[in-house]
Amino acid sequence: MRTNRTTYAVLGFLSWGPMSGYDIKKIVERSTANFWTESYGQIYPILRNFTERGLAVRVSGGTKAASGRERQAYQITERGRAELDRWLREATDPPTVRNELLLKLFFSRNVEPGVARSQVEEFRRQVTELARQGEETRSRLESNRQGSPDLPYWLLTLRFGEIQRAAVLTWCEEAVAALDRLATAPPGATKTKGDRAAAGKRRASKRKDGAKT
Amino acid sequence: MRTNRTTYAVLGFLSWGPMSGYDIKKIVERSTANFWTESYGQIYPILRNFTERGLAVRVSGGTKAASGRERQAYQITERGRAELDRWLREATDPPTVRNELLLKLFFSRNVEPGVARSQVEEFRRQVTELARQGEETRSRLESNRQGSPDLPYWLLTLRFGEIQRAAVLTWCEEAVAALDRLATAPPGATKTKGDRAAAGKRRASKRKDGAKT
DNA sequence: GGTCTCATGTAAATAGTTACATGATTAT
DNA sequence: ATAATCATGTAACTATTTACATGAGACC
């Protein structure tokens, strides 16, 4: 029975030093956003939970900086570190993916190929934007994190994103080309089994396809 | 306020023809497992909900085949098709990813590089297995779905997986190599604040250049 | 004076999984 | 006989997001 993954994300950040829930949220947005997110609704309760389980202690005050309320920082304990260590060594389940774009594509014969095409194009724009952000992150890391013992690991996660995004962009182009071919060539002409024509025409009108309502 | 994505997955399957919750679960496992999953706890309630909202009607009996209970099939209505159509055209939010392997890697300086290395290796095994399954799916589709109007779309989603997995496997090798270098070269080299040197050298391919400062 | 950001937190809603209850039929 | 599979469904739990309440200091 796998326990809450948020636990470990938060423990991981606390391993860098004492910080508050607010800090964690901000850092998550800047550092792991591409493969991990957390919301306040997760973070604050888990921090309280840590103090109950002895994985962290609350150190009020702290840096203080420029804040309205008093800063509630949390410091990881030995037990907290042990728990983090355990998780880092433990087997990792493959991620459960849910990709809505692919789901739409999967059912896209219900619409004209142009619709699927626009979806892919929009997806490509999104990925391109992520790639741009990735480049920024890389130069930021390389210019002011030199020598950090964390850096090699951070670069590994960054590289994952880079390689994956490049692949996805390749696919986008391939997919757009395939959909263009579908849009022009295919209505009923090609394949076997005579009944294909309908798919291309589908949008034209509502006729009965043997299904009543 | 985006409504439940499960809704559309189920509508999509019903667009193929009347089917039961059980059918949907089985088909999901065989067809979309790589980018979409659903559980009974989602499917059955949503089917009931469809009858209330007029997106599908219940057609008891149906194929019947070999079943214990009476088969409860659901048939999509015109309103259901309209809703599916709307969703297919609607803008798609980028997927929120949560990749636990990358999260572990991100915090892996808390353990020896060998730990991260094993995690990546295990991940590679998982992806390799998925790739094998993907190949099976491809030959299955190509041999007995020829001429289906859905085929081009299915192949697109399949291709996405293929391209992405190839990229991920490339990354795995790169990552293992990087972690091996980390394990041998750097133990204390980077430790202190003052030495930017070590990190910069790390990029050099095979350290014959005396990379350990 | 207004609004922005810092900051902590909670409540409610939504999403999703897991485990179980039930029971008929089919294969061994 | 019994195990497996077909099949439907629910309850409880876990996970996660969103929206809101609160309030202080900073900035214009």
A95 close contact with B: CB closer than 8 A:
yes
Q: Can you read off the two tokens belonging to residue A80?
A: 């907290």
The pTM (predicted TM-score) of the whole model is 0.85
Checking if the pLDDT of B133 tops 70, the result is: yes
Checking if the pLDDT of B204 tops 60, the result is: no
What region, left, alpha or beta, does residue B106 occupy, with left being phi > 0 and alpha being psi -120 to 50 degrees?
Answer: alpha
Cα angle A184-A189-A195, degrees, rounded to a multiple of 5: 120
Torsions phi, psi of A73, nearest 5?
Answer: -95, 155
Alpha helices (H) along chain A: 5-14, 21-31, 40-53, 78-89, 100-106, 113-144, 151-184, 197-201
Checking if the pLDDT of B134 tops 50, the result is: yes
Where residue B81 falls among pLDDT bands split at 50, 70, 90? very high
Q: Which residue has the tokens 């041999």?
A: B143
B66 close contact with A: CB closer than 8 A:
no
Closest-CA distance of chain A to residue B13, Å: 8
- Looking across all nucleic acid strands, the nucleotide with the smallest C1' to CA distance from residue A58 is C8
Mean pLDDT of B65-73: 65
pLDDT at A66: 45
pLDDT at A2: 59
The residue that minimises its CA distance to C1' of C11 is A41
Q: Can you read off the two tokens belonging to residue A26?
A: 């901000």
CB-proximal positions of chain D, under 7 Å: 5-12, 14-20, 23-26
The reply to whether residue B88 touches residue A115, judged by beta carbons under 8 angstroms, is yes
Checking if the pLDDT of B63 tops 70, the result is: no
- Name the amino acid, one letter, at B101: L
Tell me how long chain B is.
Answer: 213
What is the distance, to the nearest Å, from the Cα of residue A154 to the centroid of all Cα atoms in its chain?
Answer: 16
Where residue B162 falls among pLDDT bands split at 50, 70, 90? very high
pLDDT at B61: 62
- Sheet bearing A19-20, strands edge to edge: A19-20, A72-76, A56-60
Nearest to B74 by CA among B109, B43, B31: B43
Nearest to A18 by CA among A54, A61, A53, A52: A61
pLDDT tens for A34-87 read: 999 999 999 999 999 999 999 999 997 644 444 446 789 999 999 999 999 999
Checking if the pLDDT of B125 tops 60, the result is: yes
- Looking across all nucleic acid strands, the nucleotide with the smallest C1' to CA distance from residue A1 is C18
Q: Which of A110-119, A199-208, B89-98, B122-131 has the lowest mean pLDDT?
A: A199-208
Contact B38, B6 (CB under 8 A): yes
Q: What is the per-residue DSSP string for A152-181? A: HHHHHHHHHHHHHHHHHHHHHHHHHHHHHH
Nearest to A95 by CA among B167, B73, B101, B185: B101
The residue that minimises its CA distance to C1' of C24 is B68
pLDDT at B185: 74
The reply to whether residue B88 touches residue A107, judged by beta carbons under 8 angstroms, is yes
Low-confidence ranges of chain A (pLDDT < 70): 1-3, 61-69, 186-213
Distance of alpha carbon B185 from alpha carbon B202, whole angstroms: 9
The three-class DSSP label of residue B61 is coil
pLDDT at B96: 85
Where residue B212 falls among pLDDT bands split at 50, 70, 90? very low
The reply to whether residue B8 touches residue A103, judged by beta carbons under 8 angstroms, is yes
Mean pLDDT of B100-113: 97
Distance of alpha carbon B24 from alpha carbon B38, whole angstroms: 9
Residues of A in contact with B127 (CB under 8 A): 94
pLDDT > 70 in chain B, percent: 81
Contact B97, A95 (CB under 8 A): yes
Mean pLDDT of B87-100: 92
pLDDT > 90 in chain B, percent: 71
Contact A132, B186 (CB under 8 A): no
The three-class DSSP label of residue B77 is coil
